[in-house]
Structure 1
Amino acid sequence: MHRFPYLALLLIFFVSLPATANRFADVQINATPLADNLYMLTGSGGNMAALVTDDDVILIDAQYAELADKIHAKLAELSNGKALGTLINTHMHGDHVNGNSALKPGRIIAHTNVFKRLSADASFPRSGLPTETFVSELRLNLDGESIRLEYLPPSHTDGDIIVWFEEKNVVHMGDMLFEGRFPFIDLSKGGSVRGYIANVAYVIANIDDNTKVIPGHGALTDKAGLQRFHQMMIKTLALVEQQQAKGLSNEQIVAAGLGEEWQAWHWSFITEQRWINTLLQAEPLSR
Structure 2
Amino acid sequence: MRTLAFLLAASIAMPSWADEDIADQYPGSMLYSKPVEVIPNVWSAIGATAPPTYENAGHNNNLSFVVTGDGVVVINGGAAHGLAKALHDEIKMITDQPVKIVVNENGQGHAMLGNSYWSEQGVPIVAHTDAAHEFEEYGAQILQGMQRYNQDKAEGTFLAGPTETFDDEYIIEMGDYRLEVRYLGPAHSPGDVSVWLPEQSLVIAGDMAFHERMLPIFGDTMTADWLDTWDAEFEPLNATYVIPGHGHPTNMDQVRRYTKDYLVYLRAQIREHIDNGGELADAYYVDQTPYKHLDTYDELATKNAGRVYEQMEFE
- TM-score where L is the length of structure 1: 0.81
**Which has the bigger relative contact order, CA under 8 A and spacing at least 6?**
2
- Extract structure 1 runs of 4+ deviating beyond 4 A: 23-26, 124-127, 283-286
- SS of equivalent residue, structure 1 residue 85: strand
Q: Distance in 1 between matches of 2:175 and 2:33?
A: 26
Structure 2 gaps of 5+ residues are: 1-26, 48-58, 144-156
Is the contact made by 1:184 and 1:270 (CA closer than 8 Å) also made in structure 2?
no
Q: Distance in 1 between matches of 2:87 and 2:117?
A: 10
- SS of equivalent residue, structure 1 residue 177: strand
Q: Please give the per-residue CA displacement for 1:260-279, whole angstroms capped at 9, x wherever unaligned.
A: 32322361674221121122
Match of 2:38 in 1: 34
Structure 1 residues 48 and 259, CA gap change in structure 2 (3 angstroms): closer
Match of 2:124 among 107, 122, 139: 107
Q: Please give the per-residue CA displacement for 1:62-117, whole angstroms capped at 9, x wherever unaligned.
A: 222221331111111121x3332100001000011110111335200110112222
Alignment of 1:175-254 (within 5 A): 175-187=207-219, 190-201=220-231, 202-208=233-239, 211-229=240-258, 230-254=260-284
User: Does 2:301 match 1:272?
Assistant: yes
Q: Distance in 2 between matches of 1:206 and 1:108?
A: 25
Structure 1 residues 158 and 199, CA gap change in structure 2 (3 angstroms): same
Match of 2:173 in 1: 141
The 10-residue stretch of structure 1 (276-285 or 225-234) with the greater mean CA deviation from structure 2: 276-285
Q: Please give the per-residue CA displacement for 1:235-278, whole angstroms capped at 9, x wherever unaligned.
A: 121011101100011112223x3153232236167422112112
- SS of equivalent residue, structure 1 residue 30: coil
Shift of the alpha carbon at 1:284?
6.3
Larger Rg: 1
Match of 1:262 in 2: 291
Match of 2:182 among 143, 146, 150: 150
Match of 2:52 in 1: none
Q: Distance in 2 between matches of 1:140 and 1:26?
A: 29
Q: Distance in 1 between matches of 2:92 and 2:130?
A: 31
Is the contact made by 1:178 and 1:217 (CA closer than 8 Å) also made in structure 2?
yes
Q: Distance in 2 between matches of 1:150 and 1:139?
A: 8
User: Does 2:180 match 1:163?
Assistant: no
Structure 1 residues 138 and 40, CA gap change in structure 2 (3 angstroms): same
Tell me the percent identity. Answer: 21
Shift of the alpha carbon at 1:158?
2.1
- SS of equivalent residue, structure 2 residue 131: helix
Q: Distance in 1 between matches of 2:298 and 2:76?
A: 20
Q: Distance in 2 between matches of 1:27 and 1:56?
A: 22
C-alpha RMSD of matched pairs (Å): 2.5
Structure 1 gaps of 5+ residues are: 1-22
Aligned residues: 258
- TM-score where L is the length of structure 2: 0.74
Structure 1 residues 205 and 220, CA gap change in structure 2 (3 angstroms): same
User: Does 2:112 match 1:97?
Assistant: yes
Match of 1:3 in 2: none
